[in-house]
Amino acid sequence: MGGSKCRGKVKIIARAALPTQYGKFTVVAFCNSIDKKEHVALVKGEVRGKENVPLRMHSECLTGDVFHSLRCDCRAQLEAALKKISRLPSGVVLYMRQEGRGIGLTNKIRAYELQDRHGFDTVQANLALGFPSDIRDYDVAAEMVKVLGIKSVNLITNNPDKIGRLLKYGVRVVKRIPHEFGRTKYNSAYLDVKKKKMRHMLSEV
């Protein structure tokens, strides 16, 4: 079902059991008429009507999540979030189709090329391609939280922008749960840029 056929801003269109190496989840597929992309939620336990639900919003990263790239910390963060939530009574991972902080897969690889050839950092590369450092929005994510019936969340994040955006779209964020994983010699400079230029709340620099 495409987003253009979605009745309402965000709607659940399917759900199924999803056993994983981290634990048993329910995968919930959504359609939406906002960005018309197919986003999903991995849900542990019962979250409808619940307060303080642990929530991780993860943006799709093909190079990291699938190919195990060490240029970023994406896969490590996703795996850590799934492990963390699997040990709790309930929680949610939203898997958002926002590759490359919203610029898409091809442009992300173009940004990598600029970093390789010219020594740009991730922010400089995005700007050179004509994009802001981060063009993601979280309006769809906020609606997914509401459709799941969650009353408030404990947001698993290091990114203050995610907190502000969810609050803007009417999601009650009770507290932040720090989430630092996956620093390597290959992505250390990248993480430093996230802290210094993008205000991520990271302890290591």
Q: Give CA–CA dist 67/134, Å, rounded.
A: 22
> What sections of 43-187 are H helices per DSSP?
74-86, 105-118, 122-128, 139-147, 160-168
Which one is catalytic: 73, 101, 134, 165? 134
Is residue 134 annotated as part of the catalytic site, yes or no? Answer: yes
Is residue 139 annotated as part of the catalytic site, yes or no? Answer: no
Q: Are the beta carbons of 91 and 80 closer than 8 angstroms?
A: no
Q: Give CA–CA dist 191/194, Å, rounded.
A: 5
φ/ψ (deg, to 5) at 148: -75, -10
Which one is catalytic: 136, 172, 176, 192? 136
Strands 10-19 vs 24-32: parallel, antiparallel or unpaired: antiparallel
Q: Which residues of 142-155 are buried (b: 16+ CB within 10 A; e: fewer)?
A: bbbbebbebbbbbb
- Which residues form the catalytic set? 134, 136
